[in-house]
């Protein structure tokens, strides 16, 4: 049984050169994949586009079919408020439980504001956040 609070994120590897991000965005557009949130991290030679999309399995298959390196990663979607301290609350709960946040990025949309985090133990992260009364986002809500 899968945990509805663990969301599949795509990590798409992109050469760091003009037009490569547009090419990936074009693939997503052509296959009618909607990007709900993303982060682009770069290095000298390549970038990693971490994306939350409306149909990660379809996106994964279609991106791979174009010869692009893509990986599925588990993240947790945390509902946050647009106010000071909202991010601290979740980070504090995870830290006190000994769970490391590897990285994160935020999304603000019409249905919810959220923080997506990759942690070293997603199942435990979901459990301690729920136990602390922090609202999580389900994959079906994306």
- CATH number for the domain spanning 56: value is 3.30.2130.10
Domain count across the chain: 2
On whether the pTM is more than 0.85, the answer is: yes
Residue 26's pLDDT band (boundaries 50, 70, 90)? very high
22 lies in some domain: yes
Average of pLDDT values for 53-72? 95
| Last residue within a domain, chosen from 54, 73, 92 | 73
Parent domain of 26: 7-73
Q: Are residues 134 and 80 part of one domain? A: yes
pLDDT tens, residue by residue, 67-112: 999 999 999 999 988 788 888 999 999 999 999 999 999 887 776 6
Predicted pLDDT at 1:
44
The residue ranking higher by pLDDT, 2 or 55, is 55
Percent of the chain with pLDDT over 90: 73
Q: Are residues 81 and 64 part of one domain? A: no
- What sign does the CA torsion over 55, 69, 64, 23 have? positive
Q: Are residues 48 and 24 part of one domain? A: yes
Q: Are residues 79 and 136 part of one domain? A: yes
1 lies in some domain: no
111 lies in some domain: yes
Predicted pLDDT at 140:
82
CA dist 101 and 88 (Å) reads 12
The residue ranking higher by pLDDT, 140 or 123, is 123
The residue ranking higher by pLDDT, 105 or 1, is 105
Q: Are residues 50 and 93 part of one domain? A: no
- In sequence order, what are the residues at sequence separation of 6 or more whose Cβ sits closer than 8 angstroms to the Cβ of residue 72? 8, 9, 10, 11, 56, 60
Predicted pLDDT at 84:
85
Q: Are residues 59 and 31 part of one domain? A: yes
């Amino acid at each position: 049984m899968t945990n509805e609070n663990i969301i599949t994120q795509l990590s798409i590897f992109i050469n760091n050169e003009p037009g490569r991000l547009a090419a990936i965005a074009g693939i997503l557009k052509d296959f009618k994949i909607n990007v709900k949130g993303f982060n682009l991290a770069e290095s000298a030679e390549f970038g990693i586009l971490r994306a939350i999309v409306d149909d990660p399995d379809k996106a994964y298959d279609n991106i791979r079919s174009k010869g692009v390196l893509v990986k599925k990663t588990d993240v947790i979607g945390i509902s946050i408020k647009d106010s000071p301290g909202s991010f601290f609350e979740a980070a504090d709960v995870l830290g006190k439980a000994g769970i490391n946040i590897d990285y994160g990025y935020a999304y603000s949309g019409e249905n919810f504001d959220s923080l997506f985090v990759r942690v070293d133990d997603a199942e435990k992260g979901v459990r301690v956040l729920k136990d602390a009364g922090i609202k999580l986002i389900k994959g079906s809500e994306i």
